[in-house]
Amino acid sequence: MKPIQKRCAIIQCPRCEYLQLIYLDTKSHRCVFCESTIKMKGSRVKILHISKSPRDASMVLMKLKQEKARSK
């Protein structure tokens, strides 16, 4: 049996713009920051990055957050 590699995406909450990690097969996600429900289908949610593994995704997320903090 092969381990199932879940693909991850980095999304930006349309309401508070908080960057967070989700699994790509997630249909809806509750924002960890403002607790609004983000629907993945047909919404204006921004997907900033898609990764093959949660580990890779969290590294990219860290970079994006650093860049965001610097641009302020």
Closest approach, Cβ 42 to Zn ion, in A, equals 18
Instruction: Closer to Zn ion by CB, 6 or 15: give it.
Output: 15
Closest approach, Cβ 10 to Zn ion, in A, equals 14
Q: Contact residues for Zn ion (CB under 5 A)?
A: 13, 15-16, 18, 31, 33-34
Quote the DSSP letter at residue 25.
T
Distance CA 36, CA 15 (A): 8
H-run or E-run covering 61:
helix 54-71
Closest approach, Cβ 14 to Zn ion, in A, equals 8
Quote the DSSP letter at residue 69.
H
